[in-house]
Chain A
Amino acid sequence: MSYLDTQPMSLSDAKYHLALAIPSPNAELLDEMVRRLPEHAVDLTEFAIALALDRLGATEDDTAETSSTETSSAVSKAMSRFHNRLYAEKKAALSSSEGSVGNPFASMPRSELKTFARAINANLPFVMKLRDRQIREDTMSEGFKRRVTEALEVPHDVVIAHFSAPAEVRLDARFKAEGKPEPGAKQTFEEAVRGSALTSEQQEYLLKL
């Protein structure tokens, strides 16, 4: 049993392991990653191929960075995103230390949740996962988060802070077992989309946002 067998691994970590392979990822390393994350076999394989192709014929100089001294609009926009995210993270950390992060879905009755589901071309089970923070924020596309922000009509940082906070179990949920269950590990966005009984058209739409 390798070290990795005893450690949890995210999809992004697996990709970085492949990216840092020198000179390129090979079948052996890819197999190791696929063995750990079989549900992402296709994605990891395509990623490894893209990496290897990108490096084919490239020299170290090709990948080394050079730089200008002027700040472009792209850098300014990136800094703006950095500050927005920093604000959201700080707010989430503060709220977490005070008790809980504000949940923009909290006051929505079932009928409103259904309306929201239609607005983002999803269904109620999927929206419940959003409400209960069961999906990892770092696996959601920026387009999806923007779409949720528009549909909720709340500030973007509130949405980010909500999704970044730990998963929660609703107090009003009904449980078959005795006692309240602990919130489990979060799903990736793709897992949530694939596992929410969405139509194939809805899945494709959400994954392409």
Chain B
Amino acid sequence: MATPLNKHYPDGRPYFRPPAVEAAIDELLGQDFATACRRAAITDRDSREYVPSEALVHLIRDARRRNDEASMDVLLPILLRRCESNLRTKVSSDLPNAEYIREEILGLFSELFAADGAGSNPDQLDFFEVHFNQAFQGLRIDIVRQEERKTLNRTYLPLPDEYEDDSNVDESVLKYFQTAPNQESTLGLKEALQMLPPDERRAVELCHILGYDEESEDPNKRTAATICGVTGRTIRNRLKRAAARLSSYKE
């Protein structure tokens, strides 16, 4: 049986692996190492013998706990190859240091296994046994956004010529960010979002992507206005201008 996880959800429940992952781990732990390695190397995700990355993480951590370096040397590269494949898709080659960023993410990830069970955060890899893709996405994003800050777009979408502060603007374009639409309709808008002036972009991100209220009568409530340090009216004006720019972009 797999070692229980030590991390807890924000509501206090211990993190737990999905049943399919638990079953895969149990099965693998009952097999000899050669079989586990053969299965881990299978890249066809539709294969019945395919090993989920969460289970692969568990096997590597198990080897780490036993100081079994030989097993880690076989299993970790298999997992890293999966990660590298993911990074080739997810780290845009448009970034100036794309190759370096991919290597940095892989390097940092590999070090988590070396440091597993030690230091100030010994159970960090628990998250990767719960939902590998999402945990790895978090690691990736944390590094990529540091690089993206250095290459911020300085060319902004223009406001329509006829736009004035008291214009009536159809803000329905902003709803696209809330409704998890299909990829085709979203891709262009995600790109356009990066072309908004920072204050307008932040208002859209807070209100329409994270779901914050524009403002609140409750002084203790975090809202887009309190986060940005402005009034609710200013947030609404920023949203309106953003909608005007995005609408003209969409056309």
Contact = CB atoms under 8 A, between A and B. Distances in A.
Interface of A: 2-4, 7, 10, 12-13, 15-20, 22-27, 29-34, 41, 45-60, 62-72, 74-75, 77-79, 81-83, 85-86, 88-89, 92-93, 136-138, 142, 164, 186
Nearest to B87: A74
Given A27-B222, A86-B69, A66 B85 contact: yes
Interface string B202-234: 000110011110000000001000010000000
A50 B119 contact: no
B106 A77 contact: yes
A72 B82 CA distance: 11
A56 B81 contact: no
Contact of A31 (B89, B106, B187, B222): B222
Given A45-B227, A69-B81, A85-B115, A16 B110 contact: no
A27 B207 CA distance: 9
Interface residues on B, range: 35 or more
Contacts of B180: 23, 56-57
Nearest to A74: B103
Contacts, number: 201
A79 B206 CA distance: 39
B111 interface: yes
Which 6 pairs across A and B sit closest by C-beta, in order of nearness?
A3-B12, A19-B138, A57-B186, A85-B114, A82-B110, A78-B106
Chain A interface mostly = helix
> Which interface residue of B73, B81, B132, B227 has the most chain A CB atoms within 10 A?
B81
Given A16-B135, A26-B210, A72-B84, A82 B114 contact: yes
B121 to A, nearest CB: 5
> Which interface residue of B84, B131, B132, B182 has the most chain A CB atoms within 10 A?
B84
Contacts of B93: none
Contacts of A41: 227
B43 A74 contact: no
A60 B210 CA distance: 20
A49 B193 CA distance: 12
Given A78-B107, A85-B115, A4 B10 contact: yes
A3 B205 contact: no
A66 B82 contact: yes
A138 B115 CA distance: 9
Given A65-B133, A77-B103, A77-B107, 6 more contacts: A27-B210, A63-B86, A78-B110, A136-B120, A138-B120, A138-B121
A29 B103 contact: no
Contacts of B82: 65-67
B45 A64 contact: yes
A9 to B, nearest CB: 9
Nearest to A51: B141
B108 A142 contact: yes
Nearest to B186: A57
A75 B74 CA distance: 12
Contacts of A34: 222
Contacts of A65: 53, 82-83, 85-86, 132-133
Contacts of B109: 78
Nearest to B224: A27
A63 B140 CA distance: 12
